[in-house]
Chains A and B, each alone.
Chain A
């Protein structure tokens, strides 16, 4: 079985400070990892993914995430937070080739304080 955990329901960060949103996963094979963002009253938007290759993945809006196999983590990061980054962030995992169901975390609300 696969699972993903987002240990923080909410993260508060001051505008201009670096931000980290945590995610850990559990799969029985090589993971495919994703981050999605949900702005208020809008659908989820794909931010970035890790399939293979460099452990540091860069995505939309200046976000990046680091795959750490030994710690089974895929934390989302941004060097300098913007108020407009305030949203709900979801980590997701699947594995292997062909179809495998994507499992989403419970989400982390990011609040960037002006």
Chain B
């Protein structure tokens, strides 16, 4: 597609429920990244994909968080047993290569855990 698409744009969920956030990167972009942006704070790195594999998962905050990517396309970030501190905007970005080229970000998914 023309840009990075994320869905849903907004998600309200009850504490303890599981949620899935989806990212469609730009076609042909081999690198994909997930970041989290809490209200009034900077971007917090979660995970990096190169193709199918995730060579850097160091930012996933707990084992409740997981992500997968199908080929060089769609990625899904799953949060199990959501907690209120998971409330944030989850941003996905993609780039042609992983060597510091500018990222193209999606508009994000605003997750609210009530």
Report the bound CA distance from A107 to B91 in whole Å.
Answer: 15
Q: How far is the CA of A7 from the CA of B103 in the complex (A)?
A: 24
Interface contacts (Cβ under 8 Å), in number, total: 58
Determine, out of A11-19, A41-49, A68-76, the stretch whose residues face the partner at the interface. A41-49
B89 to chain A, nearest CB (A): 9
- Tell me, yes or no, whether A86 is within 8 Å of chain B by CB: no
On whether the beta carbons of A42 and B107 are closer than 8 Å, the reply is: yes
Binary CB contact string for chain B from 57 to 68 against chain A (1 if under 8 A, 0 otherwise): 011000000000
- Chain A residues bordering chain B, tally (CB within 8 A): 24
Nearest CB on A from B32, distance (A)? 12
Q: Is B104 an interface residue (CB 8 A)?
A: yes
Q: Can you name the residue of chain A whose Cβ is closest to the Cβ of B3?
A: A43
Name the one of B43, B45, B59, B100 contacting A32, with C-beta atoms under 8 angstroms.
Answer: B100
Q: A43-B91, A94-B100 are in contact. Are A101 and B45 (CB under 8 A)?
A: yes
Check B42 against A102 for contact (C-beta < 8 Å). Answer: no
Measured in the bound complex, the distance between the Cα atoms of B59 and A97 in whole Å is 21
Q: Smallest CB-CB separation from A33: which chain B residue?
A: B100
B98 in complex: contacting residue of A43, A98, A104, CB < 8 Å: A98
Complex interface: chain B residues within 8 A of A44 (CB): 43, 91, 93, 103, 105
Q: Interface stretch among B11-19, B48-56, B71-79, B80-88?
A: B48-56
Q: How far is the CA of A45 from the CA of B4 in the complex (A)?
A: 11
The secondary structure that dominates the A interface is loop
Q: A51-B100, A98-B99, A99-B56 are in contact. Are A45 and B43 (CB under 8 A)?
A: no
Q: Does A43 contact B108, Cβ atoms closer than 8 Å?
A: yes
The answer for the CA separation of A94 and B98 in the assembled complex, in Å, is: 11
Residues on B with C-beta less than 8 A from A106 are 41-42
Least Cβ–Cβ distance between A17 and chain B, in angstroms: 26
Report A75-100 CB contacts with B as 1/0, cut-off 8 Å: 00000000000000010001001111
B8 within 8 A of A: no
For the complex, give the distance between the alpha carbons of A100 and B56 in Å: 9
A91 to chain B, nearest CB (A): 10
Please, could you name 23 A-B residue pairs with CB atoms under 8 Å apart, sorted by A?
A: A34-B102, A36-B105, A41-B107, A43-B105, A43-B106, A43-B108, A44-B91, A44-B93, A49-B101, A49-B102, A90-B42, A97-B99, A99-B48, A99-B56, A100-B100, A101-B58, A101-B59, A102-B100, A102-B103, A103-B45, A104-B42, A106-B41, A107-B42
